Amino acid sequence: MDAQLMTTLQQTHTAVWNEKDRTSRDALMQTIYADDIKMYDKDFILTGTTAVSDFIDKLFAGDDNFKFTTAKPMESTQNGARLYWDIRTGPQPNVLTGMDFFVLENGKVAHLFVFMDAQ
């Protein structure tokens, strides 16, 4: 995976998870996520950009302090990439940490695996 694609993916993914305006978020999602993206969490699987955006809406609705930031630069291998992140939530200092693993097909994220670190 070339450096420009990794930079774009990291910046846009971060922007998607911080964008409170649904129309702007959905437009950003279309640039990096496949329409039929599958997002895998330990408790559920979401299919499609609408379902992922609905999930992000729920995060914002439940927490005005929600903020997604990268912990270090993205790393890639073949058609996969991983991104370590922090989520600031609720009254500070409450920080969740984890990693997203992306599988790209045809230049877009087809599979997004979300790993949350233990609290």
The span from the CA of 36 to the CA of 111, in Å, is 9
pLDDT-above-70 percentage for the chain: 98
Supply the range of the domain harboring residue 78.
Answer: 3-116
DSSP 25: H
Joined together, the tokens standing for residue 54 give 């609905």
Instruction: Identify the segments of the chain with pLDDT beneath 70.
Output: 119
Q: Total domain count for the chain?
A: 1
pLDDT of residue 57: 96
Query: pLDDT (tens digit, 9 = 90+) per residue, 78-95?
Result: 999 999 999 998 777 788
Joined together, the tokens standing for residue 66 give 């929600």
pTM: 0.93
Residue 66's domain is classified under what CATH number?
3.10.450.50
**What is the SS3 assignment for 112?**
strand
pLDDT of residue 65: 87
pLDDT of residue 64: 83
Tell me whether the omega of the peptide bond preceding residue 91 falls within 30 degrees of 0, making it cis: no
